[in-house]
Amino acid sequence: MTVASVDPGAADVRAPIWAATAIIGGRPTHRVRFTADDSGRITAVERGVEPQTGDRRLRTVIPGMGNAHSHAFHRPLRGRTHADGGDFWQWREAMYAAAASLDPDHYGRVARAVFGEMLVCGWTAVGEFHYVHHQADGTPYPTAHAMELAVAEAAADVGIRLTLLDTAYLASGLGSAGGPAAPLLTEQLAFGDGDAAGWLARWHRLRDALSASVGATGLVTLGAALHSVRAVPVDAMRTILSGLPDDVPLHVHLSEQPQENVDTLAKTGRTPTGVLAALGALAPRISLVHATHLTDADVTAIGRSGATVVMCPTTEADLGDGIGPARRLADAGARIAVGSDQNAVVDPLLELRGLEAGERLASGRRGRFSPAELLEAGTDNGYRSLGLGPHTLDVGDPLDLVEVSTSSLRTTGMDPAQLALVATASDVERVVVGGRLVAEGGRLLATSRESTPEQLLAVALAELAASTETPRTATSSPTPDHPSQEMQP
């Protein structure tokens, strides 16, 4: 791609931004000038005006996109687990091996590279669904919150907004009816905190540690997650829900696999959605990840609550999860957002196109989501899911922008309003976060003008491979005695 050069130090400048065209509310608006305050929030939006001296001039821009579900540590598996057949269980064994290979130093380097890739591809905010908390045997690292701080500092370093969704992960499965939850497997010990009280205590300490470490950047928010109904017992969920502040964004994997529904019904007499509803957890602040296998009653309950459903089309396709009822959920009242999940694909525009493609394949009809609805899912809904508030390029919103080429092989001749169905991350030219230019032409400007995600990834993956055998796809499934343990990554 060819883009105009920027002056040295431009990443540190928060100048007014003038765009020849801005896609606002799904519609092209021409000659738009944005002004931001020192915190990077929009103070004025002028339409139909000419640029002024000192303005940063961009061509076609859309709001920055919010990645509402990511597991950065899955990135080492890309290109190594897709071609050998098998099922979710085989992929899961490789995922556990990837988790076991990481320490804070390696995790920080991998996360920095992954977040850098996200940024140059148009994600300006990410929700990291984080549960690799401790050493492999479950004991804490000598430095408190070492893994969490490594992830947070990586995001702040490259200049992406991060909502760290610190995750409670307490059991390997629901256990038998009338019995206790199944204890964590050996390969899951790094994820656990003993019980709900232990997780809550660590979460509150982490909030203070993040404030001291990266709070001044304004880029990092602490959220929370329940890994799944299968990995957090009902009583533990109740304790966590009562111990979290009401304004904290809360995420949970939900009904990704049919077996989760079978096990939850057998244990509780309810679907996973029904369990959350009975706990009072279904509310606008919660985001339900995947929500692939739902009953009609589940769809109605989720829609009525105003919750967000985070679809991850490229991952759901790669793992063979199925196609979730996105259109029905949206019609019922749910917000729809998207995420990169396992990061086998890091391209927000492909996630949006995948959302619509899945609906077309399931229904046999085109235009299930309009281009404006798709952009809303990728921008405003993603930001709201992450606790970052509205993101529609209005006054008070963060000045986060993505400049997209309209003259590439993919986009030449398109109607700009249909950009979400045509462009890919290859068309991203510049990225602005908080009014500052943080990426241009695939380069990261907030860290070093010589840094590219490719360079960061090459170094991180080489160091990881040198420290341990690179994870490979497992060749066997779990034993029949445990056909339904922990179906979700």
- Whether 341 is catalytic: yes
pLDDT of residue 476: 33
Catalytic one of 341, 347, 380, 400: 341
Which fold would CATH assign to domain 65-105+123-390? TIM Barrel (3.20.20)
Residue 157: partners with Cβ closer than 8 Å, 6 or more residues away: 112, 446, 447
- Whether 37 is catalytic: no
pLDDT of residue 465: 86
In sequence order, which ranges of 337-432 are alpha helices (DSSP H)? 348-363, 371-378, 380-385
Q: Could you tell me whether strands 401-404 and 428-433 are parallel, antiparallel, or unpaired per DSSP bridges?
A: antiparallel
Burial class (CB within 10 angstroms; exposed 0-12, middle 13-18, buried 19+) of 278: middle
Catalytic one of 290, 293, 391, 400: 290
Same fold, 10-63+396-445 and 65-105+123-390: no
User: What is the side-by-side strand order in the sheet with 428-433?
Assistant: 42-47, 27-36, 17-24, 56-63, 401-404, 428-433, 436-440, 443-444
Distance between CA 344 and CA 188 in Å, rounded? 22
pLDDT of residue 200: 98
pTM of model > 0.95: no
Q: What are the sequence ranges of the domains in the chain?
A: 10-63+396-445, 65-105+123-390
pLDDT of residue 378: 98
Give the 3-state secondary structure of 270-333. CCHHHHHHHCCCCCCCEEEEECCCCCHHHHHHHHHHCCEEEECHHHHHHCCCCCCCHHHHHHHC
CA angle 171, 232, 304 (to 5 degrees): 155
* 42, 35 Cβ separation under 8 angstroms: yes
Taking the chain (489 residues) in runs of 10, the rounded mean pLDDT of each run is 35 84 97 97 98 97 98 90 72 79 94 97 98 96 98 97 98 93 96 98 98 96 98 98 97 96 96 98 98 98 98 95 97 98 97 98 97 98 98 98 98 97 98 97 81 92 78 36 41
Count the Cβ atoms, other than its own, within 10 Å of residue 46. Answer: 14
CA-nearest of 305, 339, 332 to 114 is 339
Residue 208: partners with Cβ closer than 8 Å, 6 or more residues away: none
Which fold would CATH assign to domain 10-63+396-445? Urease, subunit C; domain 1 (2.30.40)
pLDDT of residue 460: 92
